[in-house]
Structure 1
Amino acid sequence: MRCPYCGNDETQVKDSRPTEDSNAIRRRRICIGCGGRFTTFERVQLRDLTVVKKSGRKVPFDREKLSRSVTTALRKRQVDPEVAERMISGVVRQLESLGDVEVTSEQIGEYVMDGLKELDDVAFVRFASVYKNFSSADDFQSFLTDLVEAETAAERDPEGEA
């Protein structure tokens, strides 16, 4: 594993343990060259996914890109990083369980929005503003109005009956 600080290829594992959800192994590492300490995660990957963008272009699925997007939405929010990591793992599992190696960027965005809605309302709106390409304050207002109306309807009819 390459050191993120100095780029040295020689690192040692100091501690390994499963994550809370037991879907990954968390490894604490130390660089032989500079002494820097960092954490890596080892996960099972069921299949190589390909993302079909809105333009039709196809790119390999990048879990780190997904993680960066969620981390950006959660910046300065009081959400435990381990909880966020579990949400990301859940999104990846949902994508892998679709049974197809190609997933659309829209599917990914919807799964992430569903996960963030459960974690933090502000992060949910932040992510939605990028995902839905808000261009003005009116876009935020319309989105928030729709969100409040949906929540109010769900409170009135928790079973989802008409």
Structure 2
Amino acid sequence: MSACHKEAVLKFVSLETNVNIAASISNEKLRQMRENRACLLKIISSLRYLSDQGIPIRGQSSDERSNFNNLLNLRSEDSVELQKWLNRDSYKWMSHEIQNEILNMSHSVLRKLVQNVKNTVYFSIIADETSDITTKEQFSFCVRYKNLKV
């Protein structure tokens, strides 16, 4: 069903029920935006997981068998939104170029932070390690810096 047809059906239904069509379309758009944002965050977190674990993102033979696609398919079993996202024909935001851009964004943030610390006179580093309830070691690393303008 095309977007034009959906809008026509909504207008027809609103005439019969006296519902504000602008509010209905706006609510649907907000719902769509929430779903898209949730799916994009799942894609980003999946990429982050694979890169943090040192697991190759792409497969050796085809994209259908890549670690990234397999992880997203596994995660889609628990998420109807992600299932719809993966089954749609366009704008999946899963191409190799998009994967590289997402990974490069995190690297550029880290490089910017390192550059800021290098350019300051005073900075501090706080590192702490403790075990959680499952006796897994958790490490936190905090960098504080202040640019002083004289």
Fold match by TM threshold 0.5: no
Name whichever structure is richer in strand by fraction.
1
**Length-normalised TM-score, structure 2:** 0.26
Determine which structure has more spread, i.e. the larger CA radius of gyration.
2
Greater relative contact order (Cα < 8 A, sep 6+):
1
Please state which structure has a larger fraction of its residues in helix.
Answer: 2
Superposition TM-score, scaled by structure 1 size: 0.25
